[in-house]
Structure 1
Amino acid sequence: MFDSSLPRRTVLRAVTAVGAVAAGSAGCSLEPAAAVASRRLGAEWESHARTYLSWPASRSIWAEDLPAVREEIAGLAKAIADFEPVVLLAGPEHADAARQACGDTVEVVPIPVDDLWARDTVPVFVEEAGKVTGVDFNFNGWGGKQKPHDKDNAVAKSVLAKYGLARTETWITAEGGAFETDGAGTLMVTESSLVNDNRNKGRSRQEIEDELKKVFGVRKVIWFAGVRGEDITDAHVDCLARFAAPGVVLLDKAAPGTPPDSWSRAADQARSVLASTTDADGRPFEVIELTQPDPGKVEGYGEDSVISYANFYVANKSVFMPEFGDTEVDERAQRILREQFPGREVVPVKIPVIASGGGGIHCSTHDQPGQPS
């Protein structure tokens, strides 16, 4: 059973560096995961119909931090609602409190949840034959590390039923934070979070890749090694590498002078992979580093917090990024995001409690694409 007294992505200090980095590089209809030529996984910078967030429910997970983390989620929901519709999922018993915290700009939908990580529990939306559908990736509490997770396991089905969207079945067990796409046929993933017996026991990397191509309609899957066993997600890609455009990747990088660890070695390995491959259309990758802040200048964040600018979220006409308190580096990250997402307002948000729980802004949000044209 996952020790809920630990942050969601607490580094397991007892795990040695050797072997830590993974080797190698209203009813909804149900449909099989067959290859569909018209199926497409869109990029996050495309038009959104809405953003989903979830209202943290468990005092056993957040303990005395529960009021503070709810305040941060409410603040994030209200900030995003300035740019697009926001839906906050909350257990029926918590819905009134969530509405009071968020005000009239956020729609609160009474769907039971265990925790706030909407990125991982809400279905991954794809476009197919002129419609938006959702892939249910059989959420199992990040490989059984968090218990209970029965409410979060049902979120994908509940959301699709609520909005009358078709559900695509797959045998893959995964979370939304495990996938990053350019919207043009290229998908980035970490092997540690997918080729793992705690999710997909007995399945090979090739089997998983073939299934991902079917359910997402992607043409190329780029595999990074990731990191096994040192956080609850087994190193999701959304804290490591993100697309800014086809052929352009924003890559997390440790702060200068930081001692090497499993995470920095995983970033180095990802950089090597990107340097030696191309995207689905044969483009070489331009890699732009998002350097982390100086740990000594980070304000209000604990040593086990997720301190990665790569966990930003692209909403309509906006980009939401974490602000850590190292002014010079915060401003550099803002400048990079403004350059890479021109015409969008870059909104820095302080999230010390969310980060202490092992996630970030991207982990807390989930985009639903607008109706395909």
Structure 2
Amino acid sequence: MTPLLEIRNVSHQFGDHSALTNVSFSVEQGDILGIIGRSGAGKSTLLRCLCALQKPTEGEILLNGADLVSLPERALVLERRRIGLVFQHFNLLNSRTVAANIALPLEISGIPSSRRRARVKELIEIVGLEGHENKRPSQLSGGQKQRVGIARALATEPVLLLCDEATSALDPETTASVLDLLAEINRRLGLTIILITHEMDVVRRFARRVVVLEHGKVVENSPVVTLLSDPSRNENIAHLFPDTLIQIPSDQKAYLQTDPFPASEVLLRLGDTAASLPSALLSELGRNFGADIRLLNGGITQVGGRNIMDMIIRLPVFSPEIQMFLKNRCQTVEVLGYVPSDR
């Protein structure tokens, strides 16, 4: 199957500065891709190229086979309508109501007023803003403004939705609700979504695949679950993970030693990205071996639409039998160190 979007060897220069260097990746129809990188990595330049607002110095950007780089301007205008944009700071017109903001792209496209009204009503329902149609942006919360922005981006029925730091201006609770809305839109409409962000936690919670940019180059392109199961395999992305990986609690870390010692207990990290995880792993471990188990941090969460286990436990003993039991049930069993039994 041909991907919806193909980026082939895209490079872009600003004078002597290389903003993008030989960037290549593809996005399948209906996928959710996160593009992440710190400031200066090339995310903004790539976004402008993807939405055909800027032509790269070299390379091809194929949307359903049409090269956005080489199309003449008239054809490019039509292709841009197939790409929806959601902005970090909403970019709503304060002089317009919610309904009028959503209708703006339809007006520009010359859609008759009766069809505009029907489409706006449909979009209001999709984003959950019933009853807010006649309010101005100044009367809305940040999350509601972003919902208007999402509805406006969907107005012309795009095949691709680009979200530029769409949750960066929102608090954590509102961020979660906006990500839930985007996930529902993906399920309901089958819409392909690219989320450009500097927040790894947003990618972890929402995306299925991730592309990591560093100094204008792609340094990682993989499923999110693969990346999170073993981030240490790529030293270029280590800086992205301090706030998302499960950490040893500080009260345990203070006493952590590398080797076992008398009256010590072991700290283990258990990880798994299988579709079906053992639902009663710890209780089975305790029942089979009479082990006194302490769950120090983590558990099982949803990442990229799949379950992922990342937990740190403490055991009084790590016998060969327990080691074999855990290795038969978990993809990752890592000894983190040893702490005094009375701590």
**Larger Rg, first or second structure (1 or 2):** 2
**Bigger relative contact order, structure 1 or 2 (CA pairs below 8 A, ≥6 apart):** 1
TM-score (norm 1): 0.26
TM-score (norm 2): 0.28
